[in-house]
Structure 1
Amino acid sequence: MFKSIVLPAALPVLLLGVAGHAVADEGQWQPHQLPQLKSELKRIGITMPAEKLADLSKHPMSAIVSLGGCSASFVSPDGLVVTNHHCGYGSIQRNSTPEKNYIVDGFLARTRAEELPGGPNALVYVTEKVENVTDRVLKDLGASMSGRERNEAISSRIKALIAECETDKAYRCSVPAFHRGLEYYRIRQLMIRDVRLVYAPSDKIGNFGGDIDNYEWPRQTGDYTFLRAYVGPDGRPADPSPNNVPYKSKDFLVVSAEGLKNGDPILLAGYPGRTSRYKLPSEIRFARDVDLPGKVATIQADLDVIAAATKGNAAWDVRYASVAKSLNNVMKKSQGLLDGFARKDIASIKDVQDAEFRSWYARSANGSGSGKTLLGDLDAVIAADMALSREEGAYGEATHSDLLKSARTLYRLAQERQKPDAQRETGYQERDLSFIKARLTRLEQSFVPNVDRARWAAALTRYAKIDQKLRPQGLDALVPNAGNLDGFYKGTELADTAKRLAWMGQDVQAFRASKDPFIQLAVRLNDVATKLDERRKEVDGNLDRTIPQYMSAVIAYRKSQGKPVYPDANSTLRVTYGTVAPYSPRDGLVKGPFTTVEGIVEKETDKDPFLVPATLKKAVLEKRYGVFKDPVLNTVPVNFLSSADTTGGNSGSAVMNKRGELVGLNFDSTYESITKDWYFDTAITRAIHVDIRYMLWVMKEVDGADNLLKEMTIKYPKK
C-alpha cells in the first residue's frame, strides 16, 4: 500500500499553495491534496482527519474501487460491492432472456452459489499505489522533435513505466496525464477478473423514470446494484472459476441508516471520467457550435434506427437494451450541454477570463520574450486538433458497424503482433489481449446482423452528406453504398463468436488472403486509418509540447487570485465534498433536496418507465417505514441533492457522512448542472444521490434481501 506522494520540487507551491483558499464546493481533488483542504473540510463540518482521507491504504479510501467506467465501494469483508443499477446493467442484461428477464423482474442471489457471472467486461479495480513520474515521462524531450516524435517518445516511456509496474500480473497499471500533460502519475491497481451479479432490483425501481427523468429533478430512482469480487483460492485475482472464493476486502464501508438533513456535509469518493474546466474559449465554441450538435443528431438518428429495427422482437430488444441505454445517456448529456451553453454564455465568460489571463501573462516574467510565441502556438495547435477531430468523426460515421470495428481491431492486432511487444501501439500489447477478447466476446450479447446492417446503412447515408473537405482523403473510394450491404452480412463469418475470436491468432497474410467481406474492407481501409493515426500523433505531440506550458502559467495565475487548483477529471481516484442543498433553477422556483417514496406512487402510470412494483406500492400505502423513516420528512427519502462536484464516471461513487460512513450513492446530476464539466456554477450545480435508507428499505420491505442486510455492517438510528 502507498501513502505518501513525492511531488517535483517546482510544483508544490503552484498546485497546492492555493488549496486553502478554495471557494464553494468546487474541485475534484486528488487524495494527496486533501491535507491542504483542512479549513474547507472543517468549514462544512467534516470530522474525519484530512490526512486519513489522503491515505489510500486506510479506511475509507481503501474501500473505494473502480469498475472501469463507474465507481463502487466494498460494503463487507467478503468482497461485496455496491454500485449503481446502470453500472451493473451490462451484467444484468447479459444474464437476461425474454423468458427470464432480470432487467424487468430483478435478481437476487440468496446464496453465494446462486450468484451469476458478470461477464468478461465486469472487473473491479482496487487502487493501491500512486506515484508521481512526471520527470521520467518528460525529462530531456528535445525541443527540435516533431509532434509525432514527441508523442511516440512519451508513449514509449509510459509503456516502459507500465511494464515495470506490471511484473506481477495481478496488477493493472496506468500512467495518465494531469493538468493536460503537465504532470503524470503512475497508478497501480489490483485487477479482479471474476465479478458476479448478486442483487439488482427491478428496473421499475433501479431505472424508475427511465430516460424521461434522466438528469431531472425531482427524481425517485433506486439506482443501485450489488456485485461480488472473487479471487482464486490463494487470494490472488484469477479468471472466473467455480473454485474461486470471495475476495477478502481489506476495508469496507460501514452503512449508516441514520440519514442526513438539509445542510449536512458529505464526502464523495470515486473515479470521475472527464471534465474540461481549463478549455479555451475557442474549444468551448467548437463544442457548442460543431461537435455537440453533430453528436446529438447522430446519436438520435442511431437510436431511431435501433428502435425501428428491434420493434416487435423481444430477443433483439434485450440484446440492444444496454446499447440503447448508454446512447440515450450520452445524448441527453450532450443536449443538456447545448441547453446549458444557450442558458449561460460560458464562452463569453471564458473570453473575459482568457483576456485577463493573457494580459497578466504578458506582464509576468513568464510572458516576457516567448509569451506571444506560446499563445500563438497554443491557438494554432488547438485549431489543428479541432480540424482533425472533424475528419475523425467522418471516419467514425463511415465505419459505424460493430462487425467492421471488430474486423479493424483484429487486423490491427495482427499488424502490431509483428513488432516486439514494447514497440506495439497502446491497446495492442500482450497486456491488452484479454480486453480485446472481452470486447469481441461481449458482442454476442449485444449484436444482431439485421440491426447492425440498418445502423451502418443509416450512418453511411449521413456520411454522404458530410462536406467532402471534412472527409479523410481516400475514404470515399473505399466505403460501400448504403443500399448495397447485404453481401457483407451474407458473406461473413465474423457474426459467430468462436470464428471471430479465432482471428485473434491469425497473421497479416491470412487477413490479406481472406474472402470475408468485412475483413477485406478492414484491409483496404488500413492506409486511410494509418494516415489518420499518424496525423493524430503529430497533433497530440504538439499539444503535449504546448498545453503544459500554458497550464503551468494558468496555475500560477489562479494561484495569484487565490482560486482552487485541481486537475481536470481523468478517471482517476478523486474526492469531492459539499452539503445537502436545494437549488433554484429559475426565478421563483426552489427545488428541495429530498424526494420520498410517496413521490413514486404519485408518478405512477400504466406505462413504462413509471410502472411501480405492487409490493413497493403496498408497502408505501401501508406506511411500513420502520427504522428507515426520516424524522423530519416522516417517510422514507428516496433521492437527495448535494453541492458536490461530480461528473460521468462518478456513477456509483460512495456518498459518505462526516464520519466516512456510507449514506448514499451518486448516480446523476440535475439538468441545469450538466455544463459543470466546463464551468462550475455554485448556484445551480447539484449532484443526485440515492439515499441509503431507500435502498435498505427496498431490500427489507420489497425484495426480501435479508441475507445481504445481515452481511453488511449497518448503523441504525438510535431509538
Structure 2
Amino acid sequence: MVVQRSFSSLAAFGAALLLAARGEARADEGMWTFDAPPIDRIAAATGARLDAAWLDAARASAVRLTNGCSGGIVSGQGLVMTNAHCVADCVQTLSGGGEDAYLTDARDREERCAGLQAEALLTITDVTDQVRASVQGKDGEAYVRAREGALALAELAACGQDRTLRCQAVSFFRGGQYKVYKYRRYNDVRLVFAPEAAVAAFGGDPDNFNFPRFAFDVAFLRLYVDEAPAATPVFLPWRSTPPAEGEASFVVGNPGSTERQLTVAQLETQRDLVQPLAQAQRLELRGRLLQFRADDPDRARGAAQALAWVENGVKIGRGRMALLNDRAFMAGKRAEEDALKARVAADPALAATAGVAWDRIADAQDAARDLYPAYRQLENGPGGSDLFYDARLLVRAALERDKPDAERLPEYGDARLPRIERRLLDAPPRDLALERIYLEHWLLKTREALGVDDPRVKALLGGDSPENLARALAETRLVDPAFRAELWAGGRAAVEASDDPLVAFVLRIDGMARAARAAYEAKVSGPVDAAAEAIAGARLALLGDQIYPDATFTLRLSYGRVAGWRERGRAVEPFTTFAGFYARASGAPPFVAPPRWLEARKALAPDTPFDFVTTNDIVGGNSGSPVLDRRGRVMGAIFDGNSHAIGGAYGYDATANRAVALTTAAIGEALSKVYGRAGLADELMGR
C-alpha cells in the first residue's frame, strides 16, 4: 500500500514521535484550537506572526456545516464558499433530477437546502473544573452519565433556549480539558452555485486521495436571516492571484476526528477489531450499491452519490488498516508512549494519578473485544439509514422526555432537544430504495456479527428474514415531515400507539440497544475515559502548550506551506493547470469535461494553476475549509488529501502528507469564462 511508504523508516518516524513525547515541535503538524494558537511556532515555521486581528477575522469568517463539512464567509452578504461534494444532496433535491449543476443569476433564485445549517464560532469557555467535580468518585457507566450530564448543563448555561445559538460542550485531550463552544447558528442556508458533478468530482474514485488532481470542487451558499441575506461585515478577502510554491498557507476549518492520543493498547484494538469489522461491512455495502446502480438506471444519480461516500470510506479504511499494520509506525507509537510513561514515573505526583492508567486501559480492551460488536450493531444502528436514525430520535426523545432532566440519556436533555427537533422537522428528502439497502445490509451484518443463535438476533428479526424485514421497514411514513412532526408533538403516547413499521420496530428493539450501550459504558467507555483523563492531565502538565488536542469537528487552525513531495524517487509538483485538465479529459468516465468546459477552452488561460497541495495537517471534516495566506486572504478551498494523508487519523508525516485544494484563481476564471457568472465573481472581488 502507498500509505505505508509514509512511515517506512522506523528511525525517522520513531525519532519524530520521541520528539513529540518531549514536547518538541514537528514542523507543520497540528490542528490548533483558536484559544491556544502556537504563535511563536507558526512564526518560526512560516515567517508569519499572526496577530489577534488576523485570528479573530479567521474565526468569525469560518463556518461549520451540519452535514460534516466546513466553509468560509467570503462576502459581506453572507456568501459562503465550500465544496461541491458537500452540497451534492442539496443540488440533487433542488434540480429535481435534471441538470446536476446549480447556477443562479439573481438572489430570488437562491433556494434553501433543507436540513442544512451553518454555525460560526463566537466564544470558547473552559468548563473543566465543573465537569471534573461532577465525576468525582464515580466510575463505569455512572462516570459516563455524570460527565455527559454536566456537559449538557454547561451547554444550557451558555446558550439557554436561544435558537439563534448553538452551544456544544467538547472534551479535549481525551478528558484533559472540557470547553463549551458557542456558535451563531444560521438555519436558513441557500444554494447559490454548484458546478456539474462531472467536473466537481473529475477523476472519480481513481483520482480520490491522489495527486495530480483536476477537480473543480467548489460551491457557494448564502446565509439568510429573516428571509434576507445575512449581514456579515467580517469576511475573508478574495485573492485572485494563485499561490506560489513555498508560500505559507493556513487552513481554517473543522477536522472531524483523529485518534492520535490513543494508547498502543487502543490502537491494537482498532487494528484487530474495529477497523476490520467496519471495512468488511463497507466493502459489502459497496457491492450492494454497485448492483443497485446497475439494476435501476433511473436511480443512478442518487446511487452514485451514496456510492461515492462509501468508496471514500473504503479508501480511508484501507489506509488506516495499512498504517496500523505498519511495524515502524506502531514501534514509533510505543516509543512515544514509553517516553511519556517514563516522565510520569519520574514525577511522584503524576505517578500517583496516572501511573496505572495505561494498564487500566489495556485491561478494558478484553471487554471491548467482547462487547464492541453488539454495541456497534445494536446501538449505532445501520450506517447510511437516515430514517432509522429519525425513528431512534423520535422513540428515545418520547421515552426520555417523561423523565426528570437529570435522569435522561444525556443527549436528550432539555438543552439538546431543540437541535433534535430541527433535524426531525427540517430533514431533506429520503430515498426509500436506498434506505431498504442500508437496513437489509445492517440486519444481515448484525446476524453475522452476533451469530444466528444469539437471543438478540432472534429478537431483532422476530422470526423473519433480513430481506423481508427490511422490505417491510422501508414502507415507513417517516419520509413525510408532517408525520415526523405529528409524532414529535404527540410524544410517548403517539410513538407507542404508532403502527408505522420502522417506529414500531425501533421501539421494540430499543431495550436491547440500551443494554448493549450500558454494558459497553460500564466495562469499556467508563474505565477507559477515566484513565484517559488521568493520562491527559499528565500530558498537559508535562507538555503544556506544546501539544494540540485530537480533532473533534471543532474549529482549528493548521499552518503549512505550498509544497509537493517525492513519490517513488520522483518529484510530485505542487500545482496542476487548466492545460493539464484538458489533456486528462478523455471523454470516458470519470474523465469527462462538461460541454461548458469544452466550449470555454480557448477562453481560459492554459497555465492558470488549477489544484494544488500544501503541507497543512487536515482530515475529513476539513472539506470546504478556506486556505488563507499570511494576510488572511483566501487563496484556495480544501477538498481532499493525498494517499499518505489517509492515515492522518493516527499520525502525521510532513515529508508526504499533503492537503489538496482548488485555487481561487481557477474559481474566478471559471465563474467568469465557463459559467458566465460575472455577478458572483464581482461579489467575491468586492466590486
TM-score by length of 2: 0.89
Q: In the alignment, what sits opposite 1:364?
A: 347
- 1:526 matches 2:510: yes
* 1-structure distance, mates of 2:594, 2:471: 46
Q: Relative to structure 1, is the Cα distance of residues 402 and 699 closer, same or farther in structure 2, using a 3 angstrom cutoff? A: closer
1:650 and 1:371 map into 2 onto residues whose CA distance is: 33
CA distance in 2, matches of 1:443, 1:306: 23
3-state SS in 2 of match to 1:412: helix
- The corresponding residue for 1:590 is 571
Cα RMSD, aligned residues only: 2.8
- SS in structure 1 of the partner of residue 506 of structure 2: helix
Cα distance in 2 for partners of 1:382, 1:557 equals 27
Summarize the Cα distance change of 1:498–1:385 in structure 2 as closer, same or farther, 3 Å threshold: same
- Give CA deviations for 1:482-514 in whole Å, capped at 9, x if unaligned: 243377258654454433442223343444444
Whether 1:162 and 2:155 are equivalent positions in the alignment is: yes
Aligned partners of 2:390 and 2:424 also within 8 Å: yes
Tell me, yes or no, if structure 1 residue 543 matches structure 2 residue 546.
no
- Residues 708 and 524 (structure 1), Cα distance of their counterparts in 2 relative to 1, 3 Å cut: same
- Match runs of 1:183-222 below 5 Å: 183-222=177-216
1:116 aligns with 2:119: no
> Which residue is 1:74 aligned to?
73
Structure-to-structure mapping, 1:507-522, within 5 angstroms: 507-522=491-506
User: SS where residue 639 of structure 2 aligns?
Assistant: strand
Match for residue 568 of structure 1? 550
Is residue 253 from structure 1 mapped to residue 236 from structure 2 by the alignment? Answer: yes
**2:363 partner SS:** helix
- Aligned to 1:334, which of 317, 325, 338? 317
| Corresponding position: 1:45 with 2:39 | no
- Counterparts of 1:314-393 in structure 2, within 5 Å, are 314-342=297-325, 345-366=328-349, 368=351, 372-385=355-368, 387-393=370-376
- Asked if the contact 1:639–1:688 (Cα under 8 Å) also holds between the matched residues in 2, the reply is yes
| CA distance, structure 1, for counterparts of residue 617 and residue 240 of structure 2 | 24
Residue 711 of structure 1 corresponds to which residue in structure 2? 683
Deviation at 1:437, TM superposition (A): 4.9
Aligned AA (2:516): L
Q: Check whether the contact 2:387–2:430 (CA below 8 A) recurs between aligned residues.
A: no
Task: Supply the AA of the counterpart residue of 1:584.
Answer: R
Q: Structure 1 684/255 Cα, relative in aligned 2: closer, same or farther at 3 Å?
A: same
In the alignment, what sits opposite 1:237? none
1:495-549 residue CA offsets vs partner (Å, 9 max, x unmatched)? 5443344222334344444444333322221220121232244343323321111
Indicate if the aligned counterparts of 2:430 and 2:479 stay in contact, CA closer than 8 A. Answer: no
Contact 1:319 1:446 in 2 (8 A): no
The count of aligned residue pairs is: 662
**Is the Cα contact below 8 Å between 2:153 and 2:415 reproduced in 1?**
no
| 3-state SS, counterpart of residue 654 of structure 2 | coil
Shift in alpha-carbon separation, 1:245–1:530, aligned structure 2, 3 A: same
1:94 paired to 2:81 = no
> What is the CA-CA distance between 1:61 and the residue it aligns to?
2.5
Give the deviation of 1:202 after TM superposition.
1.1
Aligned residue in 2 for 1:466: 449
| 1:129 to 1:532, Cα distance in 2 relative to 1, 3 A | same
Deviation at 1:443, TM superposition (A): 6.6
- Which letter does structure 1 place at the counterpart of 2:30? G
Is the 8 Å Cα contact of residues 29 and 575 (structure 1) preserved in structure 2?
Answer: yes
Q: Is the 8 A contact 1:594 1:638 kept in 2?
A: yes
On the 8 A contact 2:123/2:183 being kept in 1, the answer is: yes
The amino acid of 2:147's aligned partner reads: I
In 2, Cα distance between equivalents of 1:64 and 1:548: 30
Match of 1:63 in 2: 61
Is the counterpart of residue 577 in structure 1 residue 559 in structure 2? yes
**Does the CA contact (< 8 Å) of 1:231 and 1:246 recur in 2?**
yes
Which of 135, 140, 151 aligns to 2:144? It is: 151
Q: 1:647 aligns with which of 619, 637, 648?
A: 619
The residue number in structure 1 matching 2:7 is none
The worse-fitting range, judged by mean Cα deviation, of 149-158 and 82-91 is: 149-158
Q: CA shift at 1:164, angstroms?
A: 1.5
Pairing of 1:278-677 with structure 2 (within 5 A) = 278-311=261-294, 313-342=296-325, 345-366=328-349, 368=351, 372-385=355-368, 387-395=370-378, 402-421=386-405, 423-429=407-413, 432-433=416-417, 435-437=419-421, 439-440=423-424, 445-448=429-432, 450-468=433-451, 474-479=456-461, 480-485=464-469, 488-489=472-473, 492-538=476-522, 539-558=524-543, 564-586=546-568, 588-620=569-601, 622=602, 624-625=604-605, 635-677=607-649
Residue aligned with 1:338, SS = helix
Q: Is the 8 A contact 2:117 2:189 kept in 1?
A: yes
Contact 1:204 1:611 in 2 (8 A): yes
- Structure-2 separation of matches of 1:553 and 1:472: 42
Confirm or deny: 8 A CA contact 1:97 1:315 kept in the other structure. Answer: no
Q: 1:79 to 1:344 in 2, by over 3 A?
A: farther
Query: Is the CA contact 1:173–1:189 (under 8 Å) kept in the aligned structure 2?
Result: yes
1:226 and 2:220 equivalent? Answer: yes
SS in structure 2 at match of 1:569: coil
Q: Which one is further off, 689-698 or 291-300? A: 291-300
Q: Take 2:473 and 2:26, find their aligned partners in 1: how far apart are those partners?
A: 57
How far apart, in 1, do the equivalents of 2:337 and 2:286 lie?
38
Alpha-carbon offset, residue 363 of structure 1: 2.9
Question: 2:205 touches 2:312 (CA, 8 Å); kept in 1?
Answer: yes
Shifted more, 450-459 versus 87-96: the winner is 450-459
2:27 pairs with one of 24, 27, 35: 24
Distance 1:83 1:43 in 2: 27
**Deviation, structure 1 residue 225:** 0.3
Per-residue CA deviations over 1:651-675 (Å, capped at 9, x if unaligned) read 1111011111110011111011211
Aligned counterpart in structure 1 of residue 120 of structure 2, from 115, 126, 138: 126
Task: Please state whether the residue corresponding to 2:530 is helix, strand or coil.
Answer: helix
Change in Cα spacing, 1:472 to 1:197, as seen in structure 2 (3 Å) is farther
For 1:112 and 1:511, the matched residues in 2 are separated by 41
Indicate the SS of the match to 1:95.
helix
Report the CA distance between 1:367 and its aligned residue: 5.4
Amino acid at match of 1:90: D
TM normalised by structure 1 equals: 0.85
State the Cα distance separating 1:405 from its structure 2 match: 4.0
The 1:490/1:381 distance shift into structure 2, 3 A limit, reads closer
Residue 37 of structure 1 aligns with an amino acid whose one-letter code is: I
SS at match of 1:578: strand
Q: 2:506, 2:368 → 1: CA distance?
A: 25
Specify every segment of 5 or more residues in structure 2 that has no aligned partner in the other structure, as ranges. 1-19
Q: 1:265 to 1:490 in 2, by over 3 A?
A: closer
Q: Are the aligned partners of 1:669 and 1:687 in contact in 2 as well (CA < 8 Å)?
A: yes
Is the alpha carbon distance of 1:585 and 1:476 closer, same or farther for their aligned partners in structure 2, counting shifts above 3 Å? farther
How far is 1:39 from its partner? 4.6
Give distance in 1, aligned partners of 2:475 and 2:486.
Answer: 17
Give 1:684's aligned amino acid: A
In the alignment, the residues of structure 2 paired with residue 344 and residue 220 of structure 1 have an alpha-carbon distance, to the nearest angstrom, of 34
Amino acid of the residue matched to residue 61 of structure 2? A
Counterpart in the other structure of 1:11? none
In the superposition, relative to structure 1, how do residues 21 and 347 fare at CA in structure 2: closer, same or farther (>3 Å)? closer
Contact 1:220/1:600 (<8 A) preserved: yes
Compute the displacement of 1:310 (Å). Answer: 4.0
The one-letter code matched in structure 2 to 1:575 is L
Alignment-mate amino acid for residue 62 of structure 1 = A
Note closer, same or farther for the CA distance 1:132–1:398 as it changes in structure 2 (3 Å cut): closer
Query: Which residue pairs with 2:13 in the alignment?
Result: none
Preserved CA contact (<8 Å) 1:131 1:187? yes
**Counterpart-to-counterpart distance in 2, 1:374 and 1:60:** 38
Q: Deviations over 1:464-489 (max 9, x none)?
A: 332549x9863433324224337725
